[in-house]
Structure 1
Amino acid sequence: QKCCGKFLIPGAVIGALLAILGGILIPVGKTIVQNKIKKEVVLEEGTIAYENWVKTGSHVYRQFWLFDVENPLEVMNSGAKPVLKQKGPYTYRVRYLPKSNITKNNNNTVSFLQPLAAAFDPGLSAGSEDDIITSLNLAVVAAPAILPVSLHFILNLLIKKTNSSLFQNRTVKEILWGYEDPLLAALLNSSITGLFYPYNETEDGSYNVFTGKDDISKTAIIDRYQGKTSLSHWEDKYCDMINGSDAASFPPFVDKKKSLYFFSSDVCRSVYANYESSQVVKGIPVFHFVLPPQVFAAPTENPDNRCFCKNPTITENCTKAGVLEISACKEGKPIYISLPHFLYGNKDTINSFDGLNPQEEEHQTYLDVEPTTGFTLRFAKKLQVNLYVGPHKWLDVFSKIKQHFIFPVLWLNETGAIDDSSAEMFRASVTTPVKILGIVQLVLLCVGCVVFLTCMVSFYIVRPGRAK
Structure 2
Amino acid sequence: MLLKSCCIYSTGIFSILMLILGISLVLSNVFPHFLQGEVEKEVVLKNGTEAFDAFENPPAPIYMQFYFFNLTNPLEMLNGDRPAVVEIGPYTYREYRPMEDVNFQENGTKVAAVNPKTYIFQRNMSRGPETDLIRTVNIPAMTVMEKFKDNALAASVISSYMRSQGEGLFITRTVRELLWGYEDGLLKALSLFQPGLDDVFGLFYKNNGSNDGKYVFFTGQGSSKDFARVDTWNGNSSLDWWTSDECNMINGTNGAFFHPVVTKNETLYMFSSDLCRSLYAVYEEDVTVKGIPGYRFTPPSKVFANLTVNPDNAGFCVPAGNCLGSGLLNVSACKQGAPIIMSSPHFYQADEKFVKDVFGMNPKKEEHQTTIDINPLTGIVLQAAKRLQVNVFIEKIPRFSQAENVRTVVFPVVYLNESVLIDDASAVKLRTVMVKQNVVVNIPFMLIGLGIIMGVLFMFLMCRQKVPESTAAERQPLLSS
Q: Same fold (TM over 0.5)?
A: yes
Structure 1 residues 92 and 257, CA gap change in structure 2 (3 angstroms): same
What do the CA deviations read for 1:79-137 (whole angstroms, capped 9, x no partner)?
A: 1221100000000111x242111111116110100012111011111111100111111
What do the CA deviations read for 1:201-221 (whole angstroms, capped 9, x no partner)?
A: 211221111101111111111
Amino acid at match of 2:420: G
1:171 to 168, 174, 184: 174
The 1-side partners of 2:319 and 2:461 are apart by 81
Partner secondary structure for residue 441 of structure 2: helix
Q: Alpha-carbon deviation of 1:446?
A: 1.3
Q: Alpha-carbon deviation of 1:319?
A: 6.2
* 1:381 alignment counterpart: 386
* 1:158 alignment counterpart: 161
Is the contact between residue 149 and residue 399 of structure 2 (CA under 8 Å) also seen in structure 1? no
Is the contact between residue 386 and residue 419 of structure 2 (CA under 8 Å) also seen in structure 1? yes
* 2:358 alignment counterpart: 353
Is the contact between residue 136 and residue 168 of structure 1 (CA under 8 Å) also seen in structure 2? yes
What do the CA deviations read for 1:142-184 (whole angstroms, capped 9, x no partner)?
A: 1123457333233222222321111111101111111011111
* 2:11 alignment counterpart: 11
What do the CA deviations read for 1:303-350 (whole angstroms, capped 9, x no partner)?
A: 11111111578xxx6362110000111111110000000001111111
The 1-side partners of 2:456 and 2:218 are apart by 52
Q: Scaled by the length of structure 1, what TM-score is found?
A: 0.93
* 2:229 alignment counterpart: 221
* 1:292 alignment counterpart: 300
Is the contact between residue 65 and residue 412 of structure 1 (CA under 8 Å) also seen in structure 2? yes
The 2-side partners of 1:67 and 1:195 are apart by 14
Q: Alpha-carbon deviation of 1:224?
A: 0.7
What do the CA deviations read for 1:181-235 (whole angstroms, capped 9, x no partner)?
A: 1111101242110111111221122111110111111111111111111111103
The 1-side partners of 2:423 and 2:393 are apart by 40
Amino acid at match of 1:140: A
Amino acid at match of 2:354: T
What do the CA deviations read for 1:331-384 (whole angstroms, capped 9, x no partner)?
A: 111100000000011111111111110011110001001111111111000000
* 1:305 alignment counterpart: 313
The 2-side partners of 1:463 and 1:398 are apart by 105
* 1:405 alignment counterpart: 409
* 2:194 alignment counterpart: none
Determine what percentage of the aligned residue pairs are the same residue: 36
The 2-side partners of 1:205 and 1:449 are apart by 61
Is the contact between residue 119 and residue 209 of structure 2 (CA under 8 Å) also seen in structure 1? no
* 2:86 alignment counterpart: 85
Q: Scaled by the length of structure 2, what TM-score is found?
A: 0.90
What pairs with 1:142-157 in structure 2 (closer than 5 Å)? Answer: 142-147=143-148, 149-150=150-151, 151-157=154-160
Q: Alpha-carbon deviation of 1:278?
A: 0.7
* 1:46 alignment counterpart: 48
State how many pairs are aligned.
459
The 2-side partners of 1:456 and 1:50 are apart by 56
Q: Alpha-carbon deviation of 1:442?
A: 1.9
What pairs with 1:174-323 in structure 2 (closer than 5 Å)? Answer: 174-188=177-191, 189-311=197-319, 318=323, 320-323=325-328
The 2-side partners of 1:215 and 1:443 are apart by 33
* 2:331 alignment counterpart: 326
* 2:131 alignment counterpart: 130
The 2-side partners of 1:421 and 1:220 are apart by 23
Q: Alpha-carbon deviation of 1:23?
A: 4.8
What do the CA deviations read for 1:401-458 (whole angstroms, capped 9, x no partner)?
A: 1x31111001110000101111002212x21110122343322221223313552685
The 2-side partners of 1:185 and 1:293 are apart by 41
Give yes or no for the alignment of 1:448 onto 2:451: yes
The 2-side partners of 1:373 and 1:409 are apart by 38
Give 1 or 2 for the bigger CA radius of gyration: 2
Q: Alpha-carbon deviation of 1:6?
A: 3.3
Q: Alpha-carbon deviation of 1:34?
A: 2.1
* 1:372 alignment counterpart: 377
CA RMSD of aligned residues (A): 2.2
Amino acid at match of 2:309: E
Deviates more, 1:129-138 or 1:156-165: 156-165
Structure 2 unmatched ranges of 5 or more:
192-196, 471-481
